[in-house]
Chains A and B, each alone.
Chain A
Amino acid sequence: MTIAARAAGSPEGTPSGVPPALELRGVGKSFDGRPALVDAGFSLAWGEVHAIVGENGAGKSTLMNVAAGVYAADQGEQAIDGVAASPRSPMEATAAGLGMVHQHFRLVESFTVAENVLLSLGRRGAVRSVAQASAAVAAKAAEIGLPVDPARIVSDLSTAERQRAEIVRVLLLGARILVLDEPTAVLTEEEAKALLSFVRRLAGQGHAVVLITHKYREVAGFCDRITIMRHGRTVLAGAAVSGLDEAEVARLMVGETLATGGRPASIAGAVSLAVSDLTLAAGPHGQGLSSIGLELRAGEVLGMAGVGGNGQEELVSCLIGLTRPQSGTILLAGRDVTEASPRERRRAGLRVIPSDRFDSGLIRDFAIADNLALSRVSEGAFGGPLFLRRARMRQAAAEAIDAFDIRGATPARQTGLLSGGNAQKVLLARELDATMKVLVAHSPSRGLDMKATQFVRTAIRRAVEAGAACLLISEDLQEVLSLSHRVAVMNRGAVAGCREIGEVSPEWIGALLAGHA
């Protein structure tokens, strides 16, 4: 798509007199006292594709969730098509003309596409049977040129097909403003191109589209205007894309570089973790791994960059021992642990910070003391086989809470009630112990605020300086670059390349991330 093609939209906003499709002003929203949005706002014109970009946790999704009625804003004004509206539910928002397609689709898996549409339409409108819903879906799909088969069951659909079904559903509900939350993150290159071309067509037909993304290529190729968010604020609202270059966008997104204190000041020692030829077949919803090889030394951080969904989860799962790879070997401190259980690997010195801390790290409904003791009870740290010394567990927990400054925590409090940063500290307090040899940290600061992020990175740095080896898997490029001694890039289940930090250039990473090399 060229600049000329984009000019067909209305890059400079709506002509005066016509109200904007969506207007957000001074929007503020806090979660648990932590501000997620501060004085955020932008204006969306009819007939344009508007990009909202920003780093993870910048507030892009939160802002659009406010517009779509998922969250209620604490402050601010909202108007849809010139009419003041603060929708209290997604239903109200779609009724007012704004529909959002989330990263996790809101479809009933065991229903067909038509049944899902019928379910959402409820008692409204003329569609009251599956046959009518099918006809409506087929008609809408033809009208907007998006292939969707109303008769198929959602669980049989590919991710791209589900996404198309979701888009048609939202449009059938009456949305003329379409919000897409990182729609291409789950798509292949080809599928992403098809979707973005469709989005342009839709804008050409007079709809307004908001595209949440963090890929500059999508902004430059398919969007008219751009709003950049950082730490909950809109630092640039509604600028024409043609007036900006990639460096400027990146600078506005990242802002002042976070003072991380640099990478660990330690020299690489003996090999702590050696993975060779690790291969895993792709599952129905999972990426496979193809012949992964890496070597990690004591006192070293190996950063693994890559867009999410390129095999990072699967790699971590194979390293922990929750998934059995088809082939390959894993050596932990010289010992072959390929066939070892998670327990034996832990004994050999493996520690893990998983990307979703409540999935394979912490138990949400457990007391904080219990989570802190989870891996040590079986080692006899809290009494022999007969008696479990709960008092000792509570005391150890109280000490860890002090040492790691876990706010809002008492040993008996339920872990799920902690904020993200403090829950992460519970996990760190448990994993970063004296017998750790290898730390696998997957997106360790995802979703955390600046202070918690600093804390996590400092903890990792200290552990590595004390002689641990760290495999840092992260989508946050800045995190990888600032902490690592060596950088590898993961793409489609394989290690696309690996270099010393001194030889890493943005072009090299960019090419590998995009899968060009």
Chain B
Amino acid sequence: MLDTAFLVRRQAPGPWLSSLCYAGGLTFGLAVSAALLVQAGVPAGALADEFLIATFLTSDGLAQTVTAALPLVLVGLASAVAMRVRFWNIGVEGQLWLGAVASTWIGIGGTGPDVLRLPAMLLLAAAVGAAWIAIPLVLKLRFGVSEVISTLLLGSVAFLLVQHLLFGAWRDPATGFPVTAAFGEAARFGSLGWGQLHGGLFVVLIVAALIWFVLEQTRIGFYADAVGLNPKAARAAGLPVSATVVGLVLLSGALSGLAGMTIVAGTEHRLNQSVGSGYLFSAIVIAYLARARPFWVVVVALALGAVFTAGSVLKVFYGISEGMIVLVQGTVLISILMSQFFSTYSLSRPG
């Protein structure tokens, strides 16, 4: 009987128990996904091919996986940085859209010398992303407005702004489609000659390394954890609570803005209506699975990039529907999240 059992919080789950739980969750999720895919018509023998070989073990697949992971690393970091101070940034997509819009403005306008084009796009995208999250931040700090609602709604506002631009001033004059004209060469990240992979890789690596350094090696990470876990004790102990919250939340917005920039300047080379979709949920999932640790954000983002790649392969070669792909991704993720629960709690019967 379920109502005669208690959930007991494990005091300090060891690394072995945790790894075992995660491995179990992953295995369970993959098994259920395999069953779903076989039922949908993918030959059982081809599954391993598509999931492992096509995503990590072929050159093209790996390039595709890494390319897909670049913006995921940035949005994952954005979510993680805010999560550390218990600020729920549900507006990652909004800040990403704004960053994309800002870089597009420079990209299609061709303002400034060519050499400074990309740096200008990077800076402006980060600044605009930070400005977009500053609104809910001020609302929260001054008036106690829940950031969960305000960031989420501002995400929709940002998307409407994008639509307004794409169906209006920025509509592609050549085709009349609601996309912008393509960027000039100076506004694109150069190809690295390996699949679709582009120079944004270096930006993402540098940014990820910086965030890792700030959160894990300097006192800022220490402040962030203290503020996130017990703001009252942190304030009483003389920590700069407000400065920590403001700084990290703005950083979160800036990172989302950068993600928008790397997408338009790296792979799309123009602004369209789909560059930002889906990143919100990915960001939250990545940050949550990585427990807001920058190093693990990169690892999880790569894994999720692989899942996306596998998804598109399945779509193209086996005619698996988009809905099925999302279902498979969801199955894997929820299994891992459940395993996290079991590594923290044990079931016990009263006795």
What is the CB-to-nearest-CB distance from A444 to chain B, in angstroms, rounded to a whole number? 15
A352 vs B236: C-alpha distance when bound (angstroms):
9
Question: Given contacts A342-B235, A388-B218, are A378 and B240 in contact (CB under 8 A)?
Answer: yes
Q: Is A131 an interface residue (CB 8 A)?
A: no
- Which residue on B lies nearest to A383, using beta carbons? B219
Counting chain B CB atoms within 10 Å of each CB, the highest count among A360, A383, A387, A417 belongs to: A360
What 1/0 flags go to B9-39 for Cβ under 8 Å of A?
A: 0011000000000000000000000000000
What 1/0 flags go to A350-367 for Cβ under 8 Å of B?
A: 001010001111111110
The answer to whether B219 touches A361, judged by C-beta atoms less than 8 angstroms apart, is no
B residues in contact with A343, CB < 8 Å: 238-240
The answer to whether B11 touches A374, judged by C-beta atoms less than 8 angstroms apart, is no
Q: Which of B211-250 contact A (CB under 8 A)?
A: 217-219, 221-223, 225-226, 229-230, 232-240
The answer to whether B232 touches A378, judged by C-beta atoms less than 8 angstroms apart, is no
Question: Given contacts A88-B350, A374-B234, A385-B219, are A363 and B226 in contact (CB under 8 A)?
Answer: yes
B residues in contact with A352, CB < 8 Å: 236
The answer to whether B240 touches A363, judged by C-beta atoms less than 8 angstroms apart, is no
A residues in contact with B222, CB < 8 Å: 370, 373, 377, 388
Q: Which of A404-430 contact B (CB under 8 A)?
A: 414, 417
What is the CB-to-nearest-CB distance from A32 to chain B, in angstroms, rounded to a whole number? 11
What is the CB-to-nearest-CB distance from B259 to chain A, in angstroms, rounded to a whole number? 27
Q: Is A375 an interface residue (CB 8 A)?
A: yes
A-B CB contact pairs (8 Å), 28 listed: A88-B350, A322-B236, A342-B235, A342-B236, A343-B239, A346-B237, A358-B233, A359-B233, A361-B233, A362-B230, A362-B233, A363-B233, A364-B230, A370-B226, A374-B234, A375-B237, A375-B238, A375-B239, A377-B223, A382-B219, A383-B219, A385-B219, A386-B217, A386-B218, A387-B218, A388-B218, A414-B12, A417-B12
The answer to whether B230 touches A363, judged by C-beta atoms less than 8 angstroms apart, is yes
The answer to whether A387 touches B234, judged by C-beta atoms less than 8 angstroms apart, is no
A residues in contact with B218, CB < 8 Å: 385-388
Interface size class of B (residues with CB under 8 A): 20 to 34
Identify whether the interface residues of B are mostly helix, strand, loop, or mixed. Answer: helix
The answer to whether B217 touches A374, judged by C-beta atoms less than 8 angstroms apart, is no
What is the CB-to-nearest-CB distance from A308 to chain B, in angstroms, rounded to a whole number? 19
Given contacts A343-B239, A363-B233, A378-B240, 17 further A-B pairs with CB under 8 A are: A88-B350, A320-B236, A342-B235, A360-B232, A360-B236, A363-B234, A365-B229, A375-B237, A375-B239, A377-B239, A378-B223, A385-B218, A385-B219, A386-B217, A387-B217, A388-B219, A417-B11
A388 vs B226: C-alpha distance when bound (angstroms):
14
The answer to whether A364 touches B240, judged by C-beta atoms less than 8 angstroms apart, is no
Question: What's the count of A-B pairs with C-beta under 8 Å?
Answer: 79
The answer to whether A322 touches B235, judged by C-beta atoms less than 8 angstroms apart, is yes
A207 vs B146: C-alpha distance when bound (angstroms):
48
Q: Is A215 an interface residue (CB 8 A)?
A: no
Q: Is A152 an interface residue (CB 8 A)?
A: no
A residues in contact with B237, CB < 8 Å: 342, 346, 374-375
Q: Which of B230-285 contact A (CB under 8 A)?
A: 230, 232-240
A383 vs B11: C-alpha distance when bound (angstroms):
31
Question: Given contacts A363-B233, A365-B229, A414-B12, are A378 and B238 in contact (CB under 8 A)?
Answer: yes
The answer to whether B239 touches A378, judged by C-beta atoms less than 8 angstroms apart, is yes
A residues in contact with B225, CB < 8 Å: 366, 370
A374 vs B223: C-alpha distance when bound (angstroms):
9
